[in-house]
Amino acid sequence: MRNDPPREKSPERLSFTRTVFVTVVAIIVSWTVTSICLFVLPLDPAYTEQFAWPTLTIATIVPFLVAIPVTIVLQRGRLKLERAMRELADVHAELERRSRIDPLTGILNRDAFLKQVNQLRVEGTNGAMLMIDIDHFKMINDQYGHMAGDEALRGFAGALSQAVQGRELIGRLGGEEFGAFVPCEDMETAHQAAERLRLAVNRMIFTPRPGILRRVTASIGVAGGTPADTLSELMRRADLSLYEAKAAGRDRVIVHAAA
């Protein structure tokens, strides 16, 4: 399963160009208003000529002194708002990701997995459902503890994740039970995909304690169907195949006879 790419963040810095632009505009407006006042108001021409340049000088200095700090304050406010909006978007994205991901294994959780499988089937995608169990998982917990069991689950999910191809999906359904969906038109393709996953689990390295290497295997039940079949029926048939795989000695793939 692919991780979402990191969000690119725009540089957080004040715009010198914007500050200069606002300052120039403020000076132009101040000059215009001042000029209108000097030449439109009924003043003595002598007074107008005498006070024109001092007034225009003030009309230049005041906007300059005011526009720059005001622009900086406004830009800082804008940057804070943009930063807050980005942080809010990141939090929303993280919450959305967590709603789909199993926190222990990092793969799709049950709801997200079944939702994506349903979506593929609604789109008309034929495929097979795989029900996958870690063999003798209870023995791992009992012998090495639950922390070792969690490590086994993480390694198991990692092995499956690296082995899936194309549009294949995997998810944790609960406990030591995992599911996979293989888009395909024939059961031979589904069988080959299941064997690929089983062999990937066989190759995983699991050390429940320092210096102890324990082999991990998987039993896999496979059931095929068309988009017309209900997902619950597809999972029920895959479950039957999984029970057959366990009864036959584990570490094997069983394809449902009706498929």
User: To the nearest whole number, what is the mean pLDDT of the chain?
Assistant: 83
Confidence (pLDDT) at 166: 93
Handedness of CA 201, 202, 205, 210 (dihedral sign): positive
Other C-beta atoms lying within 10 Å of the C-beta of residue 118: 14
What residue spans define the domains of the chain?
16-100, 110-255
The contacts of residue 35 (CB under 8 Å, 6+ apart) are 56
Residues shown for the chain: 259
**CATH code given to domain 110-255:** 3.30.70.270
Confidence (pLDDT) at 101: 94
Confidence (pLDDT) at 3: 43
Backbone φ and ψ of 20, nearest 5°: -65, -45
Are the C-beta atoms of 19 and 68 separated by less than 8 Å?
Answer: yes
Give every residue of the chain whose pLDDT is below 70, as ranges: 1-16, 19-20, 22, 26-27, 29-31, 33-56, 58-68, 91-98, 257-259
Angstrom CA distances, 30 to 27, 33, 50, stand at 5, 5, 19
Are the C-beta atoms of 150 and 104 separated by less than 8 Å?
Answer: yes
Give, as one character, the DSSP assignment of residue 188.
H
Q: Which of 8, 151, 176, 195 is catalytic?
A: 176
Half-sphere exposure of 214 (CA within 13 A, CB side): 23
Active site residue 176: yes
Q: Please tell me whether the overall predicted TM-score, pTM, comes out greater than 0.85 for this model.
A: no
